Chains A and B, each alone.
Chain A
Amino acid sequence: MKHMGFKDFISERWQIIKINTVETFMLQLSSIFENWIVLITSFFFVIINILFINVLFTNVSTIATYTKDQMILFSLIGNLSFFINIAWSADNMASLIYGVNKGDLDLILSKPLPSLFYVTFRKIDIFLFVKGFVPGAIAYIVIIKWFSLNITFESCLAAIVIFIAGQIALNFFQFLCVIPVFFRGSAEQLMSLSWAFEYNLGRMIPLEGLDKFFRILFITLIPVMISTGLTTSVLLNKSDLLLSILFSIVVSIVFILIKILLWKFALKNYTSASS
């Protein structure tokens, strides 16, 4: 086997990302009706979230040390995490289930592509992100009283790094839930379990609202809170910046390594859906 340089390695993957982004974009343009549904439902959803927080704060003054504005910021980051996740991860993982069951994976595997990378970035739906997230984000930005929040430049940078690491972790967790499809032929329930975690824990309870055991559990074994709870906490200077950065980088590297090993193992056991 010829040795492939680092440059080739990167450029090939960049090509895949480019191709898939364009392909997804072309796909999205074909369904105008759906675009409007996504835009309206997700905007509506943001309004509901803000309403929900408002309703809560008519009954209490702080939730796990978070003030109302901090909670709305948390909700904004949860929303961001959600839409970035579906734009590049959740649907790809869901279609992996389909691909294994229906044999579509065969046709990917028989092409000269880095298969894991290709499967991970099968669809990159920037358009979905724009129509789903942006209108709601405007509402959030208008409503939050920014001057009341303790956000610094350093905490912003740290939050970005942790957020990215959190997305990798989230993708890994979804991958973990999907991989049994290679052995059992189904994984829909597990996939929806991962959704339940992401929705409920990741997006509604601030990290500080959990006791220590759960706090550690949900940023390591079930890493649904890195890109939401931990990010917000760091952004608001409620957690130690350097420690959090270091932690999330280590965690995401470990996840990527495990993912590669699991994929190799899964392909060895791939039986390919019979005709």
Chain B
Amino acid sequence: MNIIEINNLNKQFKITIRKNWIKSIFKSEYKIKKAVDNVSFTVKKGESVAFLGPNGAGKTTTTKMMTGLIYPTSGEISVLGFKPQDRNKEFLMKIGLVMGNKTGLNWDLTARQTFSIYQKIYKIPIEKYKSRLDKLSKLLNVDEHLDTPVRKLSLGERMKLELIGAILHDPEILFLDEPTIGLDIISKQNIRKFLREIQKDHGITLILTSHDMDDIELVCDRVLVINNGQLVFDNTIDYLKSNYNKDKYVKFYFDSIQDLDLNSYGEIYEQKDASITYKVAPTSLPQLISSFTSKNNVIDIDINSTPLEEMIKEIYEKK
């Protein structure tokens, strides 16, 4: 059963160009920007779907249209059988939204106070609310922070509480917009683990946007890659990884170069003053490192998987 159906969705923004301030008093000039360009896809119940794309690609805009925050310029959206932009109450009762860079919790109140307001807004039965809050806060290890004013909490703690706030009412779909942005590794991992759990246990459908590949690998089954407003890839995460995320990027840092024939080690991806990056298959990784370090005076090594931009470039090339 499809709970989200999107057909030829478009969103255009008018951007004011400020050139001449005298002119701008009387008349503004506009430029049309296509934030979302003819996107179509469907999501089934219980799926965990990620929107992947660089900044400004249109993932957040798509999410905002699915939650009814902004009106589409054209195209059809149906979420849970509703038109999101009608902002039907039954619809809003069934969704939750977390935004990594915005706070839904009131700065000056404690999280528990804000949650008790949510309890009334979403009309959660009081018993259910209590047990659920108890369970969730233990699970995320934040029960000691429930009674601290939100402004005194760290970003990681706050994010966890935001997350609790968004799922207290047991939504059918949870939208997450860059939920781990700015967090440390441990907090990120905790949140990812938690998201996976609630998706598996409660059957919540997760829609996540991120530009962090790791978020997506650990939480989602399916990836939609968006670039310049267009949907360029729609498949499982395993497919993406096995087809596009094959190469490793090895970066060597050094003081000075002893061996001048750098090309002999493999394909050079990038070269800067004191560093050089090679693009290699994982199998030939150990050999590259040993031969390079034996001939050059290496200070440090970084090994990375394929950057997002490369992956998108590759997707385009394969098309």
* Residues in A lying within 8 Å of B, measured CB to CB: 1-2, 15, 19, 23, 26-27, 30, 102-104, 106-107, 109-113, 115, 267-272, 274-275
Contact = CB atoms under 8 A, between A and B. Distances in A.
Given A2-B90, A30-B149, A272-B70, A113 B108 contact: no
Nearest to B120: A19
Contacts of B55: 275
**Top 5 A-B residue pairs of the complex, sorted by shortest distance between their CB atoms:** A112-B92, A107-B104, A110-B97, A112-B89, A112-B93
Nearest to A113: B121
Contacts of A271: 13, 70
A274 B55 CA distance: 10
Contacts of B109: 23, 26-27
A13 B113 CA distance: 20
B89 A19 contact: no
B34 interface: no
Contact of B95 (A102, A110, A274): A110
7 contacts: A27-B106, A106-B69, A109-B69, A271-B70, A274-B56, A275-B60, A275-B177
A30 B147 CA distance: 13
Interface string B67-102: 111110000000000000001111111011101111
B178 interface: yes
Counting chain A CB atoms within 10 Å of each CB, the highest count among B69, B70, B88 belongs to: B69
A269 B69 CA distance: 10
A150 to B, nearest CB: 47
Given A106-B64, A112-B89, A270 B117 contact: no
Nearest to B82: A1
B122 A112 contact: yes
B64 A272 contact: yes
A194 B62 CA distance: 36
A275 B178 contact: yes
A232 to B, nearest CB: 37
A30 B108 contact: yes
Number of chain B interface residues as a range: 35 or more
A111 B92 contact: yes
Contacts of A272: 64, 69-70
Contacts of A115: 87
Nearest to B67: A110
Given A1-B88, A112-B122, A275-B60, A26 B93 contact: no
B158 to A, nearest CB: 13
Given A107-B99, A109-B87, A270-B69, A27 B108 contact: yes
Nearest to A268: B71
B120 A15 contact: yes
B102 A107 contact: yes
A219 B56 CA distance: 47
Contact of B97 (A106, A270, A275): A106
Contacts of A268: 71
A23 B102 contact: no
Contacts of A106: 64, 69, 97, 99, 102
A23 B150 CA distance: 14
Which of A113, A271, A274 has most B Cβ within 10 Å? A271
Nearest to A15: B120
B197 to A, nearest CB: 23
A15 B121 CA distance: 8
Contacts of B67: 109-110
B149 A26 contact: no
Contacts of B100: 275
Given A19-B120, A26-B109, A112-B121, A107 B70 contact: no
A272 B106 CA distance: 20
Nearest to A110: B97
Contacts of A2: 90
Nearest to A185: B16
Contacts of B106: 23, 27
Given A19-B121, A271-B13, A275-B101, A109 B68 contact: yes
A30 to B, nearest CB: 6
A102 B103 CA distance: 10
Given A109-B69, A275-B99, 9 more contacts: A23-B106, A103-B101, A106-B69, A109-B67, A110-B96, A111-B92, A111-B121, A270-B71, A275-B177
Given A27-B106, A102-B102, A270-B69, A110 B113 contact: no
A26 B89 CA distance: 28
B271 to A, nearest CB: 33
A183 to B, nearest CB: 9
A272 B69 CA distance: 7
B113 A23 contact: yes
A44 B68 CA distance: 48
Contact of A103 (B95, B102, B108): B102
Contact of A270 (B60, B70, B88, B113): B70
B120 to A, nearest CB: 6
